[in-house]
């Protein structure tokens, strides 16, 4: 009985912690060139990336700092690719620019329009 209470005492906070770690971000890919969001929403741009072919996407925009907060990128294997994590900050419209590099040469680009409303 004491073992069960001790286990429960550790398990309940752990479950709340794990539940709180999940991101509630919306995901978009390069297929949609216009993204509509509300202010203070988390979102990710997902782009296909093959490391074995020397591919690497890079976020290039710097003129949108008042509208979005860039929170880094993560790679999820060749089946998914790279996820670029953002948070919309305030209302407005901006352009998100990404460049695909293959062995240090620019191979492609992706431009997405972001429209943020209240």
Ordered domains of the chain (ranges, CATH): 25-117 (2.60.40.2020)
**Radius of gyration, alpha carbons of the chain:** 19
**Angstrom distance (rounded) from CA 45 to CA 59:** 10
pLDDT tens-digit series, residues 64-111? 889 999 999 999 999 899 999 999 999 999 999 999 999 989 999 999
Q: What is the pLDDT of residues 72-85, one digit of tens each?
A: 999 999 989 999 99
Residue closest to 38 by CA, chosen among 78, 2, 99, 91: 91
Is 69 within 8 Å of 86 (Cβ atoms)?
yes
pTM: 0.76
């Amino acid at each position: 009985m004491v073992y069960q209470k001790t286990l429960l005492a550790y398990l309940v906070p752990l479950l709340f912690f794990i539940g709180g770690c999940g991101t509630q971000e919306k995901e978009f890919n390069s297929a949609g060139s216009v993204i509509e969001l509300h202010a203070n929403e988390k979102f990710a741009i997902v782009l296909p990336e093959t490391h074995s072919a020397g591919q690497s996407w890079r976020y290039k925009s710097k003129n949108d700092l008042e509208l979005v907060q860039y929170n880094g990128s993560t790679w999820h294997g060749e089946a998914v690719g790279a996820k670029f994590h953002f948070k919309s900050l305030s209302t407005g419209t901006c352009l998100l620019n990404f460049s695909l590099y293959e062995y240090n040469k620019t191979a492609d680009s992706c431009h997405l329009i972001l429209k943020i409303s209240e």
